[in-house]
Amino acid sequence: QISVDSNFFEELGADSMVMTRFCARLRKQTDLPRIPIKQVYEHPTISSLATALTASAPPPTERLLAQILADVMSVEKVSADSNFFEDLGADSMMMARFCARLRKQTDRPPVPIKTVYAHPTISSLASALNGANGAAATSTSDPSLTGAQTSIPAEESAPIGTPRYLLCGALQILSVTVYLYIVIFYLAQGYEFISTATRFIDIYWRSVLVGLGLFLGMSLLPILLKWLIIGRWRPQQIRIWSLHYFRFWFAKTLMRLNPLALFAGSPLYALYLRAMGAKIGQNAVILSGHAPVCTDLFTVGDNTVIRKDSIFSCYRAHDGLIQTGSVTIGKDAIVGEKTVLDIETVMGDGAQLGHSSSLNSGNSIPDDERRVGSPARARTEVDYRGNAPANCGPLIKIAFSAIQFISLLFLSSILFSATVTLAPLIAERLFPISPDSSVFLQRAFYVNALIISSVFFFGLMLIGLVLVATVPRLVNLAMKPDAVAPLYGLCYFC
């Protein structure tokens, strides 16, 4: 039992996901009104929420607009706070018919389609038509809007100005230059360290040490800088080209350059996201390499699977602003391939989102419900889980991660060692040692340099082509058609 005077959050211990499920369950009750999550936060008890819902009937203008829109969309009723495009799924043609029907059934002046886009809910449009908000109604969006029409103060979305624009670009160039200098300086020092060895085995082990240091540096530096320059991400709006935007861009760029981003589908990838602040549950599998930028706003429950090529960045660009927001996925959920999860979206426990679908901002999928489409409104009976759960213990995860990391490190070290060994031999043949700098004035120097670079470029391209044509065919021998392969096993590694 729940007391009607108990606070949802402070006394009952509910959170945003629980109350989103509450609102979604309430929408299924046809005799009750639609409740936005914002109203739940404003009235956090059963009694206050019921009083707010029954306190007053909608104004005449709202009732008229809702009746006309419901007739145009061929539905029974529409909520006064539902976004025409994000929540109701209307398009420009449908809203043009709404404006035309409004002109025929009332004596009001024509409503331009631009006004509908500026006020995409019944309540905000009615306020604008009644002139309740005066000049402010034409310059700002209604604060109750969700999705693409989130409230944005006019001064926030104003142009940042040319000086700030140039300053941001200069800082971007400077940061990339410094980062590349650090990497190249390390590689030059590593080359000096490796080239002093005489035997190939010594060259190889020194290459392993240099490669390990480079991997650890490029992996840990973005994590350290994220916590230094950003701290924890929170829902906010960032003006494009501002100094705050530069920090956002720098953190995003470092995440993309992090070699750990190559380990999507591996337990190492989940550890990496946790280190960046994401809340990743036990046994969650993330096969998509599109890492979330605002990691602290990303939550994934236990045993959830996110398929490849899915996008859940936890930010979006709108009207000169970067808007950051949360993406919450419950436990035992399935996110299909090539899906998009916008900010402020929630998937409940056991929910499934079909392939090539999108969940728009402010929308959610209730527990154990399956949705498909763009936007994902249609329910489906397809089970995207495919296979029954299989046991995958911690030892298998540790062994897989270790083999994956060691194979990458040692194979790349072989390539680097071969380069260090062959490069001086080729240079001695084509570039005789000169006591002065006159060699740079000789035509043969540049011809030989062109030959060497061409040999390395096209030679490596040829080797890569041979590997691409042969290695997949070899590892495919370990695959059996129509057979279920457990995660992190031999077939999965192949």
Among the residue ranges 26-35, 83-92, 250-259, the one predicted with the least confidence is 26-35
For position 60, what pLDDT does the model report?
A: 72
The model's pTM is 0.64
363 contacts 375 by C-beta, under 8 angstroms: yes
Average pLDDT of the residues in 38-50: 87
pLDDT tens digit sequence for 122-154 = 888 888 877 633 333 333 333 333 333 333 333
Residue 434: CB atoms within 10 Å: 11
Q: What is the mean pLDDT of residues 448-456?
A: 83
Give the per-residue pLDDT at 57.
Answer: 47
Work out the pLDDT band at 422, boundaries 50, 70, 90: confident
Q: What is the per-residue pLDDT for 132?
A: 38
Question: Could you tell me which residues are beta bridge partners of residue 359?
Answer: 341
Q: How confident is the model at residue 438 (pLDDT cuts 50, 70, 90)?
A: confident
pLDDT exceeds 60 at position 158: no
CA dihedral (272, 301, 484, 289) positive or negative: negative
pLDDT at 107: 61
Check residues 69 and 30 and name the one with the higher pLDDT.
69
Average pLDDT of span 78-103: 80
